[in-house]
Amino acid sequence: MQPGELDGVRLRRRPRQARSVEKVAKVLAAAERLLAEDGVDVLTTTRVAAEAGVSVGALYQYLPDRDAIVEALADLYLGRLEAAMETLVHQAREEVWPDPVTVLVDAFAGLYRSQPGFRALWFGRHLTEGTREADRRHKHAMAESLHRVLIAQHRLPDTEDAATACRTAFLAADAVTQEAFRATPEGDPALLSHLKTLLGAYLGRLGE
């Protein structure tokens, strides 16, 4: 885990001392390993505590049950995606990309490949309503960031209609990307290629 990743994670209580922050980070890292290796079903407080080398009582202070563990991991993964998009926004302001769509699709395909826990969580059946609501907020944030990238690259204007177009494009891209990685951890190259064509045509037409 990277410094600051706990900031957006829902916990029963916030760790205050450095030792407590380290303990929660250790627990979430253990939960990530279990999730990637064995799936959501193994994310019991007993199993996660044993994997992290902490007592169940210590874990319970921050993550009292499996739903809490699932929600914390979901927050962690969504935060990583948003942080990656924010980095791309900054790069877009400093660089000229001949094909912004390819840059964005390749960047997020790379993230999907590098996060087996995210794939296991999102493609499973254990998402809570709290996690679904967090995902809805996440999609809005990502669409807004996509619009900022395309404004920076002088591909779309700063208008409400363009913002709606970016939301539409992101929702489509999110669905296709998930489908591309549902069957294989490397992602279906044909789907990802056609996604680039779809987004390029749609967003390019709007930018004319």
The string of pLDDT tens digits covering residues 174-185 is 999 999 999 899
Predicted confidence at residue 1, as pLDDT, reads 63
Placement of tokens 């809490």 in the chain: 68
Whether the CB-CB separation of 31 and 7 falls below 8 Å is answered with: no
How far apart are the C-alpha atoms of 137 and 143, rounded to whole Å? 10
| Count helices and strands in the chain by DSSP H and E runs | 9, 0
Task: In whole angstroms, give the CA distance from residue 201 to residue 59.
Answer: 49
How confident is the model at residue 2, as a pLDDT?
A: 60
Q: What percent of the chain has pLDDT over 90?
A: 74
* Residue-range domain boundaries for the chain: 5-60, 73-206
Q: How confident is the model at residue 207, as a pLDDT?
A: 63
Average of per-residue pLDDT across 165-169: 96
Question: What is residue 184's three-state secondary structure?
Answer: coil
According to the CATH classification, is domain 73-206 in 3.40.50.300? Answer: no
In the chain, pLDDT over 70 holds for what percent of residues? 97
Higher pLDDT, residue 161 or 127: 161
Higher pLDDT, 134 or 125: 134
pLDDT at 8: 79
CA atoms within 13 A on the CB side of 39: 5
147-160 tens-digit pLDDT: 999 999 999 999 99
Task: State the fold for domain 5-60.
Answer: Arc Repressor Mutant, subunit A (1.10.10)
**Distances 96 to 90, 93, 110, 208 between C-alpha atoms, Å:** 12, 8, 21, 18
**How does pLDDT run across 19-62, given as a tens digit for each residue?**
888 999 999 999 999 999 988 889 999 999 999 999 999 999 99
pLDDT, tens only, 94-118: 999 999 999 999 999 999 999 998 8
> Does the pTM of the predicted model rise above 0.85?
yes
d(CA 187, CA 177): 8
